[in-house]
Amino acid sequence: MSFVQQPPELGNQYRDDRMLRTYLRRVLPAAVLSEIEPQLDRMGELAGGELYRLQLEDLPNEPVLTRWDAWGNRVDRVEPTRVWRRAERLAAEKGLVAIAYEGAHGAASRFHQMAMVYLFTASTDIYSCPLAMTDGAARALLEAGNEALVARALPRLTSRDPARSWTSGQWMTETPGGSDVGGTETVARREGGEAGGWRLWGRKWFTSAVDSQMALTLARPEGSPAGSRGLALFYLELRDAAGRLQRVRIERLKDKLGTRKLPTASLTLEGVPAEPVAGLTGGVRNIAPMLNVTRMWNAVSAIALMRRGLALARDYAGRRTAFGKPLAEQPLHLDTLAALQAELEGAFHLTFRVVELMGRAEAGEASDAERRLWRVLTPVAKLTTARQAVAVLSEVLESFGGAGYVEDTGLPALLRDAQVLPIWEGTTNVLALDALRALAADPDLEVLAGELERTLGPVAGDGDVSQLATAAMTARRAFERAATWWRAAAAEPPRVEAGARRFALTLGRAFELALLVEQARWSHAREGDARPAAAARRLAAAGVDAIARLDPCDAAGRADSRLLATDRAPAPAAAAVPEPAGATSSEPAGRAPA
């Protein structure tokens, strides 16, 4: 009988996650952890059991758009997949949005919520996307202080009753500009004079979770100036009381590389009723609280997908035999998995530091320095972890050999879904520029230097067992190099902008390493666990400093960038025409006399 390879399996994803459990023991009061741990355990069981099995069974299915009913009525009905229907109900019942707003544990409520989301995400085909936008919409409405909208929407956005709960969309992207929302063409018109209501007209090119009940969107009130200054933030509900779309036409569902279970659509707005959230200006400012939340969710999704890929790869390594022994006993394979685990652990600790800062800010416990740190680390964590997820999951697929390239194993979807993470909520370049804006008022990087000092403390005293002094020094040197570059480049804006990605990635990786060192010290001292220290050493060895020694952002470097980015051949020089012997001419060399 021919050989049949056993597929990888998952166990309880909470019990099997040493990294998550150790971290929560460090940061949470024992009473809080004792209270929430049964919920985490149940979610871990679902993620590795029922939900994962359903996900594999549902692999071929995608959402379906029905534009017309049998009698010719335009209905634009979206039917989600089985996984999404189950995830929708489960997310409400488990309070994956509600936990943060119920605030049962104060600042620690965000820890509780995001630990649940981290366990939930990888088994639910990116249902985290509508949940992220729902959480962001709730936060944006609260920050805007529109009491009528808060009273109407917030109880539904944060409900644990599946029959009552809502999710929210976020409609920003239009054809003229994605991240550059200043090109928004959607127009808001008031009907019936000053006392009338508002209606929106235009096209939205990329709207995720189009089956949500409400959305926040940017639009330009008629007569407002061009550019982002003239935009306002509007609230709308997609359907009326009878379930009919309110003058919104779904043109098509997007045929995407990944996140294919997520119904993303092109929409035409044909006078949909809407309401200003906070006046008729300041739309970009008013939607910023939503972006802070969704970028945090993006980072949590990145570490969740990395963790899932590694869980499968480790299990498979014990089941797959090659060259006479299991992959789990082969040094090169172990070295590969160890390097990926180190990337995950760094990304995990940076992400959950942002979670901690958000929780403290929302609970009113954050200092001014912590709020400024949160503003900087949010885009840095999003861009750093998103790029790590793509690289790690590409390696994960390779670790399975040919099976990693076969669709019905479910493995390729991990990489395809991860590829959206560096794009959604701002590309790496856009997020790097956002980080620069956040640092504009801190030319000496004092808030980041303070965080590094808090995290690493004195270098001495790590001992021979943990061997963390070198890793700590690597983080310090990378940060110091970034700070030196920042001060030197500050007087030359084009140089700062050209180097923004390298600068932000260096900050991201430096703080990943520093936070991992902090965890490693605690794990070694309190639990005798050397694994976080091993991860820190691996991450340090993999490289932290993304700023090249030869600055590619100086004048010569920028000239090289122009040449290489265009990659066009130079125009050929005109051929020189020799002068006749003995002739004299005042014409420039290379031109024949007239």
Identify the CA nearest to 302 among candidates 344, 342, 247.
Answer: 344
Q: DSSP assignment of 17-32, as one string? A: -HHHHHHHHHHS-HHH
pLDDT value, residue 144: 97
Distance CA 586, CA 592 (A): 10
- CB crowding 214-248: b at 16 or more within 10 Å, else e: bbbbbbbbeebeeebebbbbbbbbbeeeeeebbbb
Nearest to 105 by CA among 35, 41, 155, 44: 35
Bigger pLDDT: 1 vs 451: 451
Tokens of 200: 């929106």
Measured in degrees and rounded to the nearest 5, phi and psi for residue 215 equal: -155, 155
How far apart, in whole angstroms, are the C-alpha atoms of residue 140 and residue 278?
A: 10
Q: Which pLDDT score is estimated for 466? A: 59
Q: What is the pLDDT of residues 499-548, one digit of tens each?
A: 999 999 999 999 999 999 999 999 999 999 999 999 999 999 999 999 86
Q: In this structure, is the dihedral angle defined by the CA atoms of residues 26, 27, 32 and 36, taken in order, positive or negative?
A: negative
Question: Which backbone phi and psi does 208 adopt, to 5 degrees?
Answer: -85, 155
Residue 465 has pLDDT above 90, yes or no: no
Which pLDDT score is estimated for 552?
55
**Residue 91 CB-half CA count within 13 A:** 31
Examine the pLDDT at 291 and tell me if it is beyond 80. yes
The rounded Cα 484 to chain-centroid distance in angstroms is 28
pLDDT of residue 587: 31
Residue 444 Cα distances to 20, 485, 488, 494, angstroms? 34, 11, 11, 19
**413: closest CA among 536, 260, 525, 306?**
260
Q: Residue 348 pairs with which residues in a beta bridge?
A: none
pLDDT band at residue 457 under the 50/70/90 scheme: confident
> What proportion of the chain, given as a percentage, has pLDDT over 70?
90
pLDDT higher for 347 or 557?
347
State the chain's mean pLDDT as an integer.
91
Rounded-to-integer distance, Cα 314 and Cα 498, Å:
39
Distance between CA atoms of 256 and 273, rounded to whole angstroms? 30
Q: Phi/psi at 216 (nearest 5 deg)?
A: -110, 135
Among the listed residues 144, 57, 65, 139, the one whose alpha carbon sits nearest the alpha carbon of residue 97: 139
The answer to whether 243 touches 201, Cβ cutoff 8 Å, is no
Residue 536 class from Cβ within 10 Å (0-12 exposed, 13-18 middle, 19+ buried)?
buried
Is the pLDDT at 594 greater than 50, yes or no?
A: no
Q: Residue 577 pLDDT > 70, yes or no?
A: no
CA angle, 246 then 248 then 250, to 5°: 135
- CA–CA separation, 301 and 561 (whole Å): 33
| Residue owning tokens 């340090």 | 540
Q: Tell me the C-alpha distance between 285 and 293, whole Å.
A: 14
Model confidence at 562, pLDDT cuts 50, 70, 90, reads low
Burial class (CB in 10 A: 0-12, 13-18, 19+), 474: buried
Contact between 539 and 512 (Cβ < 8 Å): yes
Residue 91 region, left (φ>0) first, then alpha (ψ -120 to 50), else beta?
alpha
Distance of CA 534 to the CA centre of its chain: 27
| H helix count then E strand count, the chain | 20, 11
DSSP secondary structure code for residue 524 in this structure: I
DSSP category for residue 261: T
pLDDT in tens, 200-238: 999 999 999 899 999 999 999 999 999 999 999 999 999
Assess whether pLDDT exceeds 90 at residue 567.
no
Which amino acid appears at position 504 of this protein?
Answer: A
Give the span between the Cα atoms of 276 and 224, in whole angstroms.
14
- Ramachandran bin of 274, using left for φ above 0, alpha for ψ from -120 to 50, beta for the remaining angles: beta
What are the tens digits of pLDDT across the range 262-278? 999 999 999 999 999 99
Element (H, E) at 273: strand 265-276
Q: Do 45 and 12 meet the contact criterion of CB atoms below 8 Å apart?
A: yes
| CA gap 477, 503 in Å, rounded | 13
Alpha-carbon torsion, ordered 473, 478, 479, 482, to 10 deg: 160
What are φ and ψ of residue 244, in 5° steps?
Answer: -90, 140
Chain mean position to CA 31: 31
Q: Report d(CA 443, CA 102) in Å as an integer.
A: 38
pLDDT at 494: 85
Beta bridge partners of 78: 65
Q: Give the model's pLDDT for residue 18.
A: 97
Residue with tokens 């002094």: 469
Phi, psi for residue 474 in degrees, rounded to 5: -60, -45
CA 551 remoteness from chain centre: 28
Instruction: Find out whether 407 and 392 touch, Cβ atoms under 8 Å.
Output: no
CA distance linking residue 115 with residue 104, whole number of Å? 15
Does residue 559 carry a pLDDT above 90?
A: no
Q: From CA 41, how far away is CA 213, in angstroms rounded? A: 31
Q: What pLDDT, on the 0 to 100 scale, is given for residue 579? A: 42
Burial annotation 73-104 (CB, 10 A radius, 16+ → b, else e): eeebebebbebbebbbebbbebbbbbbbbeee
pLDDT in tens, 11-35: 999 999 999 999 999 999 999 999 9
Tokens of residue 225, six digits: 């100036």
The DSSP secondary structure of 365-386, one letter per residue, reads ---HHHHHHHHHHHHHHHHHHH
